[in-house]
Structure 1
Amino acid sequence: MFNIAVAGHVCADLTPKLPLGIGMTPGHLYDVGPLTINPGGCIVNVGRVLHALDASPRLAGMVGDDDLGRAVVRDIAGTGLDTSEIRVSDGSGTSYSIVIEPAGMNRSFWHHTGANGEFDGTGVDLAGIDLLHVGYPSLVPGLLTDDGAPLVALMQRARREGVTTSLDLAVVDQTSPIGQLDWHGILARTLPEVDVFSPSLDDLTSALETGPVSTKEGLLALADEMIEAGAGIVMLSAGEDGLLVRVASAERLAAGGRVLESLSDAWAGSTSWAPARDIAQVVTTNGAGDSASAGLLYGIASGLGPEQAAGTATLVASQWIQGLPIAAGGAGRN
């Protein structure tokens, strides 16, 4: 198995147990359930899935010098993940998300950026790493200064060292300062350095302000646009509508670092559609996209074909959503 690093967004997830139909009327008191506090964010979610699939990565991110940050690092380390590259900021508090997830419904977030604003990727140690996954630059403003120059620099540095690069997005709030950035320009500069690109449809359309995409033809056209911009493999996840994996030419994959170069003939030019799995019960949708990205990366690093890797992504995501154990043997059966 190749050695993997996951860098970028990390936070504490504060999740109150909310009944269906909870209100927000000023002056009212609403009875809610207990609060859970867990480490969250892209590097934690992807890291947990890869660890469960016996491909445990090294994590790189930044927390604050506060009780919340110490709890986040302690709890991540308690899962067996390598936290040696999670650095501590002296000037910012730890990032946190309040997860608003009423029973049986999709989640929304109240988010504080915190120390993620200082993470610029320059301290990411790539020694011995074969695959680098970077998550949620829209929530890691330190990667987006100078029109995304730190993000591009990190990806370029990785590719110079023969590392296969991977990028995932988060939904971009167009009313925020991050939403006012030139995302078309940022992606145009970044995607030629990205070998695997795995945003959700909502993530990508919110960044590009393209409006809703509701057909397979529209999804395919959007994936092709990302391929034309320079990405090697594009996975677009569309929730209940499953996901699409679209792949560039053999020549592009051969330039995709140590992980992709051996897959170029089997993957080149392919298109894979993977339907969403049946869900018996929804425990959480928080982190579902990250789990799909981790499933795809596991499939790629394991040398699976494109259809099997896409199926692994949907299977792992369904296990995550239902709160089921994720195991390498289960993920290999599609």
Structure 2
Amino acid sequence: MQTVNNVFNFTSQEKTFVTIGTFDGVHFGHQKIIEKLVLEAKKEGKKSVVLTFFPHPRMVLQKEASIELINTIEERAKLLEKTGLDYLIIHPFSKEFSRTTALEFVRDFLVNQLNISKLIIGYDHHFGKNREGNIKQLTEYSQLYDFTVEEIPAQDIDDVSVSSTKIRRALHAGNLKTANNYLGYNFMINGVVVNGKQLGGKIGYPTANIDVKESYKLIPKTGVYVVKSEIDNETIYGMMNIGNRPTVDGKHQTIEVHFFDFNKDLYHQSLTVELIYFLRDEHKFDSIDSLIHQLKIDENTARNYIKNNL
């Protein structure tokens, strides 16, 4: 898959099959649509293209609104790469772009830039200035500019919408099993390992403190999770705490991972942490000794889960 930033940097002499969307989560519903796109494009000897936008339109048009996305744009690109897609085009969404009319979008973006042969789109898709464009207009424009439009059935689109909502709710509730089932993969957190207060090392549980730079990234419910990471081509398991460390200071949310049987220096490295199982809620303990006792229980529970399930 080739990733192209800005639709105007894309050129293709070959005709393309295109679908458009945010595809946050790239969950099983999204995968179904993209799989259809890829298969149909290959069958016709065309190139498959996903056109997406970043920042998310609501980040630009509703700045006061709080938006949480299942994936960062980098995570989304990596997930889409696994689908067999030929091109991912990430076009910058801006207020200026939002004023593009439906006709201008079809003519300038789909026809002139993407050299479109077929558009696969949802029944409720709206586009262009003030969301004026709809499936009816698309069909009319397709006849004018000689491309076809395939409408994704309402049930499939509804399933995609419901799935995204359920995933977000499940993550906020700590229901990791449901979230991962809908995603079709383990929910992940990406960040850079930064310096912490070194308390973990002093109590026998050194941690990698993960700094997630993207403020829009959904962070699941506070608590303790069983996790894994790929470090130097090796799968390393551990347990992660998302929370405010109420026993220690309780002031700032942190994401801290303790890896089992691992002692390499990870400072300043980028790390992808996959969340596998929710162990327990975060608690405030009466003393550091009580915290250490609970951490030992957590480690034993986590190791047993890994041994028996992974």
Q: Same-fold call, TM > 0.5?
A: no
Please state which structure has a larger fraction of its residues in helix: 1
Please state which structure has a larger fraction of its residues in strand: 2
Of structures 1 and 2, the larger Rg is shown by 2
